[in-house]
Amino acid sequence: MNILVIGSGGREHALCYALKKSPQCKELYCAPGNTGIAKIAERVKIKPTDFDEIVEFCRQKHINMVVVGPEAPLVAGIADFLEERGIMVFGPSKAAAQLEASKAFTKEICKRAGVPTAKAETFKDAEKAKKYVREQGAPIVIKADGLAAGKGVVVAMSLDEALAAIDEMLVDKKFGDAGAEILVEEFMEGRELSFFIATNGEKVYRFGTACDYKRVGDANTGPNTGGMGTYSPGDMIDNDLREQIMDQIINPTLDTLREEGIIYKGFLFAGLMITSEGPKLIEYNVRMGDPETQSIIPRLENDIIDVMLGHAEPKFSDKTAVTIVYAAKGYPEEYEKNTIIKGVENVKNALVFHAGTARKEKNLVNLGGRVLGVTAVAETLEQARKIAYDEAAKINWPEGFYRKDIGVIYG
């Protein structure tokens, strides 16, 4: 098969790594890809949202399957557009992508499917929202309805924080249209787990679990980020919990979508809170996670193409993977670009997945905030953690940093 991957991050690097290993993969392309991906796939200069150009490229290169990494092209309808033109896509339709694009849509589906999730009310009017928040009290969670690049969620520990967040979204329009409607949600207490599914629309396979470190600072301090590190599998997962999640959350959601005429296919990412009352849904994403993918893929032992086609269930090793994200100092706020990164070639006992890198006059430099993911796989979490940190230390990047506690379990 000739395959085109859409995207340019560490997640796409990991997906390319798995696809490249498949004996079924003939030519592998990635649009637009990155410096690391260039070593295993041919980069294509097309933006993920240029659908016409993607179709043109697929026809020229006889692409048999397009694998979509990020949510933006999915939400914009890339799967529908390509499939209407006879090109197979591993990724959900625009209708199905509402699971990520609209929190209100997801709440409605969850309500009908009986999926356990936080109690929520939607508001467009700031005064009504504030009245409700005063009644409910803190802690409470305020969310922009639409896509806000992961920044549209405020977990307010005090009433003042909650009221300020309502003003920011509904009065100051901080997130524009994405925040024209907000959700006020019950605060759920527990531990978070990222839970993944891969489905061709008929077969529904579990595709691994991971724990993500979302805050920028050690001991989970500082602002939220896209994810500063992960380990896989999640330490709290066992057969009982796995079955509970499938029976109470994933299957009812997919069945309810099907009743609406929406066949979900592609990866599905359930962000869960494991509470004392059992697993509850925080949110769905219609794609793999980043950096979760960088921890999950290295544990995959069989052919990812068989999984995508619905020919075989994924098999994961019993080992544990730890991924440390190397980010530019200042991230998630302002950071310097084009700073030189040395020593990546010294990493021998771990995988390095690129995200925001570029080549400039023979040097590897950073373009983005989250730049490299260093993944080690070992028998235990402790061992994987040690190897990952030993290997990350071989990279010489004075303008970069990473959290020192990826793999430490906070109860």
Return residues touching ligand AMP (CB under 6 A). Answer: 118, 141, 150, 153, 155, 185-188, 192, 214, 271, 282-283
**Closer residue to ligand AMP (CB): 150 or 398:** 150
β-bridge partners, 199? 204, 266
- Report yes or no: 395 and 372 within 8 Å, Cβ to Cβ: yes
Residue closer to ligand AMP (CB basis): 116 or 407: 116
Closest separation in Å from C-beta 226 to ligand GLY: 6
364-397: burial string, b at 16+ Cβ within 10 Å, e else: bbbbbbbbbbbbbbbeebebbbebbbebbebbeb
209/206 Cα distance (integer angstroms): 9
Q: What is the DSSP letter of 395?
A: S
Looking up tokens 């802690």 gives 139
- The rounded distance, in Å, linking the Cα atoms of 282 and 274 is 10
Q: Which of 91, 289, 314, 332 forms a contact with ligand GLY (CB under 6 A)? A: 289
322 with 404: CB under 8 angstroms?
no
- Going by their DSSP bridges, the two strands 229-232 and 204-212 should be labelled as antiparallel
Binding-residue pattern over the window 188 to 217 for ligand GLY, x denoting contact by CB under 6 A: ------------------------x-----
Q: Report 256-275 residues binding ligand GLY (CB under 6 A).
A: none
Nearer to ligand AMP, 153 or 164 (CB): 153
Decide whether 185 or 303 has the Cβ nearer to ligand GLY.
Answer: 185
Identity of the residue, 282 or 381, whose beta carbon is nearer to ligand GLY in the bound complex: 282
Q: At what angle do helices 251-259 and 103-113 cross, to 10 degrees?
A: 100
* Partner interacting with residue 181 (select from ligand GLY, ligand AMP, none; CB below 5-8 Å by kind): none
Nearer to ligand AMP, 220 or 339 (CB): 220
C-alpha distance from residue 183 to each of 110, 129, 152, 153, 403 (Å): 14, 9, 10, 9, 31
Residue 313 binding: pick among ligand GLY, ligand AMP, none (C-beta 5-8 Å cut-off by kind): none
Among 100, 145, 290, 303, binds ligand GLY (CB under 6 A): 290
Q: Minimum CB separation from ligand GLY for residue 149, in Å? A: 10
Stretch that binds ligand GLY, among 85-93, 285-293, 333-341, 388-396 (CB under 6 A): 285-293
Question: Distance from first CA to last CA of the chain, Å, rounded?
Answer: 45
Q: How many CB atoms lie within 10 A of CB 330?
A: 13
> Applying CB under 6 A, does 100 fall inside the site for ligand GLY?
no
Determine which residue in the list 12, 80, 145, 292 makes contact with ligand GLY, applying CB under 6 A. 292
Q: How far is the CB of 194 from ligand GLY (least distance, A)?
A: 7
Q: Note whether 320 and 232 are within 8 A (CB).
A: yes
| DSSP E strands, 69-119 | 89-90
State the residues that interact with ligand GLY by CB under 6 A: 212, 226-227, 285, 289-290, 292
